[in-house]
Structures are given as C-alpha cells and as structure tokens.
Chain A
Amino acid sequence: MSETLLKVDQLVKSFPITGGLWGREVASVKAVQNVSFEVKRGETLGLVGESGCGKSTLGRCVIRLIDPTSGTVTFKGQDITRVQGEGLRELRKKMQIIFQDPYASLNPRMTIGAVLEEPLLIHGLFPSAKDRKDRVRELIRLVGLRDEHLSRYPHEFSGGQRQRVGIARALAVGPELIVCDEPVSALDVSIQAQVINLLMDLQQKLGLTYLFIAHDLKVVEHVSTRVAVMYLGKIVEIAESEELYKNPLHPYTKALLSAIPIPDPRRREERIILHGDVPSPVNPPPGCHFNPRCPLASEECRQTAPELKSYGQDHWASCLKIKAST
C-alpha cells in the first residue's frame, strides 16, 4: 500500500499571454507554481481549491494532457515529463481521466458501444472482434449500465448515466491511475451519491489510484485518503483527510472549511468570511499569495513567500503565522 505510484516534483505550468503587433509574450498566467506531492498506490488524493487555483491544470499536467513548463512527473519510478510518441501512448494505458461535463466529453455521433470500443482499438487491446465486444459488455456492466445501452447515443442518457459511460471509457484500457476532474459537480445530489459510490466500489475492486479534483470539500473529504488544498497555483496545505478537516492549520483552509454551508439549521455559526476575490494568477501578490485576504497577514507575509513545512505526521502547510496562531 505504501508504494509511491506518482511523484510530482517542483511542477510549474505557465500559459503565455501574447499581445502587441508581433504577438510577443507580454505576460504569463502562472497556473501552477512549484507544486510537489506524491500519490501512493491505491489511495485517493483529493485536490481542492476555488476556480482558477490551478487544480485542473495540475491534473492535466500530471497525465501529460498538457506539457508542464518545468519540473518533473515520475510515474512508477519512470520520469514521464518528456515522454513522447509511442512511449506516451503506452503511458495513456496506465493513466486516464474522467471529465466534469458528461455532456461535452462524449461524441454525440458515436454509440456508447463505439465510444467504449475506441480506446481498445487505439491501443490494440483485445485484437479479436469478439473479445473486444465481450470487454465492452464487461465494462458497461461494471459501471452499472446494461447491454442494451451500448447501441444508444449519448443524448439518450441522463447526466448521471453519461458520467457512468465516461467512467467506463476511462476504465477500458485498464489504467492504474485515474484523474477525476470534478466528476460529480454537474450532477444532482441523489445522482452524485450514486456516482461517488460507484467510483469507490471500482477503486476497491480494481485497485485504482485516484487524483480526485473538486471544489466541493464535502465530496473530497468523503472520498479521499489525503487532501491537498490549492490556492493560486500553489499547494498551501496537505494532510490526511481526517486530520485536515479536524485540524486545519492554514488560514485559507480554515476559511474554506468554515464557508461551507452545513445542512443543519441549528449550526448557523459565525463563519470566517474572507474579503475580496482570488487575485489574478497573471499578477499574483508578492510574498504569500493569500496575504491580501488573510486575516492574519502582516508585513513579513507581504515580503516572504512561505514554504511547505511539516507539522506532525504527514501534515504540511505553508504559512508563516502557524506557530504564532496555534
């Protein structure tokens, strides 16, 4: 259980903003800045943060859907940061992604059977047509749909069912790591619970490892072994999920947890309400990125960017004020 499946070291991704007559680079969006973490086989690492914090970009860099600007990604001991061509294709068999929008991520002109067969064809798995059909049937049953669904088109399905198809497609090639990018955000609560249960069952059955990206902290807490909180391109805190929720150290994590409306009318407690908005990642504030909104910020926070430091068992946070406040 303790084998490290994925290791991300000092990962940076910036997107150029071009402008002017010659389309020169005038600025850049620093979407992910020096992020490092590890994911162990069989665990779920939750990645939370608000829109624009870089969590999806990070997820995509990890499985090489986009190329990181610098830093390294190591998968099963192999540096995959610069893998190209056939090597990359091999890698795709091991790492897959489930997208947020089940409406946009399925080709409307393909039947579900064709959608599920395509990855098998691309990767040359199950060369005989009969085996392939069997595999497709196995997949559709695995996600709780039925054989007759295979001949239907995406528009004939509800959101929850489409998301099941998306999951089946990701599973088709037998991956070890799946990046789940907001897999349940577009679904109604009762359907959301069904899909979360499915993901957790599949993880047990197939020994999958998840990088679970979401903005809903309740969902992330429920599915994750460990959770990383991102703010403006950086991980500000990472810990075992229970530890993080019981004992959040970073003021941003505290505010984020406190901001969640709790479905219990007797607990209308005072919340920590952050002022202002998330700053633009084009021009992040100097020092600690959180300082303009932080209730504890002082002069040093505006000058020194804090590093992730260890606070007890597997609990890391980046804040200069933690000692002072705890």
Chain B
Amino acid sequence: MSDLLLDVKNLKTRFRTDDGTFFAVDDVSFQVRRGRTLGIVGESGCGKSVTSLSVMRLIQNPGEIAQGQVNFEGRDLLKLPEQQMRAIRGNDIAMIFQEPMTSLNPVFTIGNQIDEAIKEHNPKMTADQVRERTIGILRKVGIPAPEQRYKEYPHQLSGGMRQRVMIAMAISCDPKLLIADEPTTALDVTIQAQILDLMRKLQQDFQAGMILITHDLGVVAEMCQDVIVMYAGKIVEQGTVEDIFYRPRHPYTKGLLDSIPHFETGHKLDRLQTIPGLVPSLLDIPPACRFQDRCPYVQERCRVEYPELRALNDTQVVSCHFPLNGDKA
C-alpha cells in the first residue's frame, strides 16, 4: 500500500508528575494515507494533542514517549537521532497550532519567520529566492498585498490573517503530512469558514496527508474522511466519517453527537441529550472500561474487563463489550 504515509503503532506517552504517573496516550494505533484527512476528536484531556505532539516528537519533560512506533514512510521516527528528526520536522511533517498569536514570534516580521523555515530546510537557496518563495506562499494562502505583509509584524495582523501566516509557514516546505491542532478554534465562524476552505484547497493541491485535531464535530464532518474518537487517553472508536456520524457504535461517540444542538430539528427548546458526569482524571481512571461511570448501558463485564478494540467491519473499530446497533442518533 504505497499511499500509506504514517503508521502509528501502540503509542504510549507517559507523564510523571508529583501526584503520580499517568498515560496521556495509552496504546494508540492509527494510520494516515496520502491525500486523506484523519480527524481526532475528543474532549479536553482525552490525549488528542499529546498524540500529535508525540508523532512530532515534541513531548517535553515531565512527559516522555514510553513505547510504540511512529512509522513515517517506512522509517520509525522514534528511533531517529534528534538531528535527523529536525530535518523531518517542518519539512516532511509540519504543524499548525491553535493559538496563532502565541505561535508567532512578536519581534520578527512574518516574512522573516517564514524565510527562516525555508532557509533551515533549503540551505542552498539565496536570500532573494527565499524571499520570492515566501511571498509566493503568502499569496497562495490568500494574504492580500503579500509584499507589504512580508514586512509586517504579527501584532499588525488580525487573528484570521495570523492563522493564514501559520499555514503559510507550515506549507512553506511542501510537507507530506500536515498536523493541524484546533486550527480554527480561536477564530470567528466566518473566518473559520475561510480557513477551512483554504486548508481543503491546499490539501487538494499538495495531496498531503492531514491530521486534524478538533473538538468540533461540525469541522470533522466537513473536513475529514477518517475519524478517531478518543476518551481518557484511549481510542474508543475509529472509522470513516460516515461510520462515525451515521452508525456510531460506541456509547461515548453517540453521546457526543447527541449533545450538540442541531439545526432544523423541530425540537427547539427541548432538552439536549447529555453525557452524565465528568471526564475521569487520568490519575484516577476506572479499571476496565474508562467510560463505565458515564455510560448509560454499563454492565458488570464493563467494570472488570477492558474492552479491547475490535473490528466490526472493514472500516469500523470499537472498544466496547456491548456496541450499539449503529442506528443513527
């Protein structure tokens, strides 16, 4: 299968804190193919961001990758020396973060910052060539008057423009894999629509693989072909976007889908379906199924035996002893 780009196997990322050690990502496996977008969804603290940082090997103390493989084009990134990893970061795999203001350096012009990324990975290019390329990329991401903007500082740009600059920086070296961590969460809806549209077009151009991390199921439905649902460090369900939205089999996935207000349901002013209780602390996760305390269908077996991920059909995988029958919400 030549279009397989990223193959993560049994990834575990551990954090050691004063209160104890926990696995923010616990035995997670997934694949990303060229030209496809994988969505990782889940609520705060479910491990979706740590998963992406682990792929980039950007986990810092007190965290560490405890085990697993991150195979990128056949090479296990976790085994590479840091020097080689640097050459891959930003070049083959690039990342877009949520907060464009804190991810840009306020004391350098945006042109300067994109130049730097290009120079780092293309040491032979002349300064003029680099500048040319930067301006070309700024134009591509839809920044008006790029020659002018090249000389401006991050604070002179609006939130949406800054996020475009972040995207420009990420695509400056034609990455094969793009990881976007909540790329539109800080933006207003009309700006979000612009950015999502841009990301979709760019992906079509580049035929890159993409991992999109978000808590917004609407964004997932719009952007992704494959979806992973995470809960308390574990994958609870995995499938195509249609599997997840039309035939959710894990009670948590269904709970998430039910708890968003829908348009045009005609049930206005009705109560929303909720998932009772709270996400468990990772320091104090229930044994066996992690969702047991919030699950409406919990049974004795859920409290004693962990539900291993199992395939229900060619595309859909679920971690539940008693998967739902897959009727739409």
Q: Contact between A50 and B190 (Cβ–Cβ < 8 Å)?
A: yes
A272, chain B: closest CB distance, angstroms: 8
Instruction: Decide if B85 is an interface residue (CB 8 Å cutoff).
Output: no
Asked if A194 and B263 make an inter-chain contact with CB atoms under 8 angstroms apart, the answer reads no
| A197 to chain B: closest residue by CB | B271
Which positions 198-250 of chain A face chain B at CB distance < 8 Å? 200, 215, 217-219, 221-223, 241-242, 245-246
**What are the 5 closest A-B residue pairs judged by CB atoms, nearest first?**
A261-B218, A222-B261, A193-B259, A50-B188, A259-B193
- Given A189-B215, A194-B274, CB of A260 within 8 Å of CB of B189: yes
Known contacts: A193-B259, A219-B261, A277-B191. The answer to whether A158 contacts B196 by CB under 8 A is no
Contact yes or no, B278 A160, CB < 8 A: yes
Minimum CB–CB distance from B91 to chain A (whole Å) comes to: 30
- Cβ-defined contact, B272 with A261, below 8 A: no
Flag whether A130 is at the interface (Cβ < 8 A).
no
- One digit per residue, 1 when the CB lies within 8 angstroms of any chain A CB and 0 when it does not, for chain B 245-281 equals 1100000000111011111100011011111101100
B200 to chain A: closest residue by CB: A268
Give, as a whole number of angstroms, the nearest-CB distance from A293 to chain B. 8
- In angstroms, how far is the closest chain B Cβ from the Cβ of A245? 6
> Is A255 part of the binding interface, using a Cβ–Cβ cutoff of 8 Å?
yes
Residues of B contacting A277 in the complex (Cβ-Cβ under 8 angstroms): 158, 160-161, 191
Q: Known: A260-B218, A265-B221, A265-B245. Is A271-B193 also a contact (CB below 8 A)?
A: yes
Which residues from chain B contact A259 at a C-beta distance below 8 Å? 189-190, 192-193
Q: Please report the C-alpha to C-alpha distance between residue A149 and residue B220 in the assembled complex, in whole angstroms.
A: 37
B43 within 8 A of partner (CB)? yes
Q: How far in angstroms is the closest Cβ of chain A from B37?
A: 12
How many A-B Cβ pairs are below 8 Å? 123
Q: Tell me which residues across on chain B come within 8 A of A266, comparing CB atoms.
A: 242
The interface residues of chain A lying within 8 Å CB-to-CB of B197 are 271, 273
Nearest CB on A from B244, distance (A):
8
Q: Which residues of A contact B255 (CB under 8 A)?
A: 190
> Is A189 touching B188 in the complex (CB atoms < 8 A)?
no
User: Smallest distance from the beta carbon of B117 to chain A beta carbons, Å?
Assistant: 25
| Residue of A189, A264, A273 touching B221 (CB-CB under 8 A) | A264
Give complex CA distance A261, B194 in Å.
12
Select one of A196, A256, A261 contacting B216, CB under 8 A. A261
Provide the bound-state CA to CA distance between A256 and B217, in Å: 18
Q: 4 extra interchain contacts, Cβ-Cβ under 8 A, other than A189-B217, A221-B261, A222-B261?
A: A188-B44, A190-B255, A218-B261, A265-B221
Kindly provide the distance from the CB of A312 to the nearest chain B CB, expressed in whole angstroms: 19
Proximity string of chain B (171-203) to chain A, C-beta cutoff 8 Å, 1 when within and 0 when not: 000000000000000001111111011000000
Q: Is A78 in contact with chain B by the CB < 8 A criterion?
A: no
What residue in chain B is nearest A51 (Cβ atoms)?
Answer: B188
Known: A189-B260, A261-B222, A263-B260. A215 touches B189 (CB 8 A): yes
Interface centre among A160, A189, A268, A278 (most CB of B within 10 A): A189
Q: Which residues of B are found within 8 Å of A218, using beta-carbon distances?
A: 260-263
A125 within 8 A of B: no
B residues less than 8 Å from A219 (CB atoms): 261
1/0 per residue, CB under 8 A from A, across B26-46: the answer is 000000000000000001100
Closest to A160 in B: B278
Q: Does B78 contact A (CB under 8 A)?
A: no
Q: Which of A188, A215, A218, A245 has the most CB of B within 10 A?
A: A188
Task: Judge whether A145 is part of the interface by a CB distance below 8 angstroms.
Answer: no
B274–A193 touching, CB < 8 Å: yes
> Are B193 and A273 interface neighbours, CB within 8 A?
yes
- A192 contacts B by Cβ under 8 Å: yes
10 A–B contacts, CB within 8 A, in A order? A188-B43, A188-B279, A190-B256, A222-B272, A259-B192, A263-B218, A263-B262, A265-B246, A268-B221, A277-B191
A267 to B245, CA, bound (A): 12
Q: Across the two chains, which residue of chain A brings its CB closest to B196?
A: A261
A221 touches B263 (CB 8 A): yes
Q: When chains A and B are docked, how far (Å) is the Cα of A246 from the Cα of B159? A: 30
Distance, CA A154 to CA B160, complexed state (A) = 34
Please report the C-alpha to C-alpha distance between residue A259 and residue B264 in the assembled complex, in whole angstroms: 16
